[in-house]
Amino acid sequence: MTMIKPVKKYIKTIFMMSAALFISACTPQSDRLYSDAYSEIEKGHFRLALDLLERSAQQASNNKKKTKALVEAARIARFEIQDYNRALRINREIVLKSEDSKQRLNAQEALAEIYLENLQNYNQALGELMILEQLVPDLLHKEKLRLKIAQAQFFTGNPKSTLEYIDASIKTASLEKKNFLKLKAQAFISMKRFDESLSVYEELRTLDANFFEKENLYVATSIAYEEKEDYAAALSYLEKYKDLIKDKSYLELRTKRLKERLANKPLFKGRRK
C-alpha cells in the first residue's frame, strides 16, 4: 500500500510533462518566439527581444501574426534602443507586407518621423511625408502633415518652395494656421525679406497674443529688426514688450548687445570717434 501513492504521483508527473511537451510541440514556432520575446521585454532585454520578434515574424505563416511581431519590433528598435536604421527597415517591411491598411499607414508615418525628427535627413523625410499626405484621409491629420512638409522644405534650405507651399496650404488651415505663419516669417528672414517677416509677425501677434508670447516671438521679432540693422527699432520693440518676455537674463543680454551695435553703427551720432 505504501508504494501505491508514490507510483501514482510519478505517473501523474509523467503525464503532465508529456501533455506539456505535446502542447509545446503543437504550438507554432513563431508563437513560442513571440512569447519568449515578451519574457525578455519584461526583463528589459530589448535587443534580445527584438531579435526574437524578427525571428517570430519570419516564421509566421499568418500575416496578422507576422505584422504584429514586426510592429512591436519596430517600436522597440525606435524607442527602446534607438536603432533608427533597423526601425526604418522594419517599418518599410510593414508598409510592403501588412494586409492591414492602418498598420501600413502608421508604418509610413513612422518612416517620415524617424527621418525628420531622429535622423534629421530632411530630403528623405520630405519624400516620405509627400507619400503619406496622399494616404491620409483625415483633414486635420493632413493639415499637420502639410506643416511638417513645409518644415522639411525649410530645413532643406529651400525657403522659396516653403513660402509657396505655405501660401497654398494656409488657405484651408485652421488648427495649424499660427504655426504656418511662424514658419512663414522665418522663411522671409532666411531670404532677407525683413519687412515681410515683420509684417507676418505682427499679423500673428494680433491673431493670438498668448501664442506669440508662448513661442517667444517678441524676441524673434527683435531679431528680425536686428538682421535688418535697425537696432533702434529692435531696442524699442524689446522695451515695449519687456514685461511679456519671461527670460529676463536673455532679455538683458540682447538689450546690451543691441546697444553696443547701435553705438558702433556707422553714422550714429553717439558713436565714438
- Given this model, what pLDDT does residue 16 score? 52
Alpha helices per DSSP H over the chain:
4-26, 29-42, 46-59, 63-75, 84-97, 101-113, 122-135, 139-155, 159-169, 177-190, 194-207, 209-214, 217-227, 231-240, 248-263
Q: Is residue 117 part of a domain?
A: yes
Tell me: pLDDT of 208 over 80.
yes
Q: Which 3 state secondary structure label does DSSP give 178?
A: helix
Share of the chain above pLDDT 90, in %: 86
Residue 75: which pLDDT band, with cuts at 50, 70 and 90?
A: very high
In a domain, 240, yes or no: no
**273 pLDDT band (50/70/90 cuts)?**
very low
Q: Give CA–CA dist 238/258, Å, rounded.
A: 10
Distance CA 236, CA 270 (A): 17
DSSP state of 246: S
How does residue 270 score in pLDDT terms, banded at 50, 70 and 90?
Answer: very low
**Average pLDDT across the chain, whole number:** 91
What's the Cα-to-Cα distance from 7 to each of 12, 18, 20, 75, 220, rounded to whole Å?
Answer: 9, 16, 20, 51, 85
Band (265; pLDDT cuts 50, 70, 90): confident
Q: Which CATH number goes with the domain that contains 110? A: 1.25.40.10
Q: How many domains does the chain have?
A: 1
Q: What is the pLDDT of residues 158-204, one digit of tens each?
A: 999 999 999 999 999 999 999 999 999 999 999 999 999 999 999 99
Rounded mean pLDDT, 245-263: 95
Q: Could you tell me if 232 and 240 are in contact, meaning their C-beta atoms sit under 8 angstroms apart?
A: no
Q: Assess if residue 122 is contained within a domain.
A: yes
pLDDT at residue 20, rounded to an integer: 45
Q: Quick one: average pLDDT of 107-124?
A: 98
Segment 237-252 mean pLDDT: 96
pTM of the model: 0.84
Among 91, 124, 86, 97, which residue's Cα sits nearest to residue 109?
Answer: 91
Q: Is residue 63 part of a domain?
A: yes
In a domain, 179, yes or no: no
User: Quick check: is 254 in a domain?
Assistant: no
Q: Is 22 part of a structural domain of the chain?
A: no
Is residue 6 scored above 80 in pLDDT? no
Q: Answer for the pair 254, 222: CB distance below 8 angstroms, yes or no.
A: yes
Give pLDDT tens digits for 31-46: 999 999 999 999 999 9
Geometric angle at alpha carbon 244, from 240 and 250, rounded to 5°: 90
> Region 148-166: what's the mean pLDDT?
97
Collapsed DSSP state (helix, strand, coil) of residue 230:
coil
78 close to 110: Cβ distance less than 8 angstroms: yes
Question: 46-59 burial, b if ≥16 CB within 10 A, otherwise e?
Answer: beebbebbbbbbeb
CA dist 107 and 120 (Å) reads 18
Please determine, for residue 102, whether its predicted confidence score (pLDDT) is greater than 50.
yes
Mean pLDDT, residues 246-269: 88
Please give the residue range of the domain that contains residue 79: 30-135
What pLDDT band is residue 14 in, cutting at 50, 70 and 90? low
Q: Is residue 185 part of a domain?
A: no
Grade residue 25 by pLDDT with cuts at 50, 70 and 90. Answer: very low
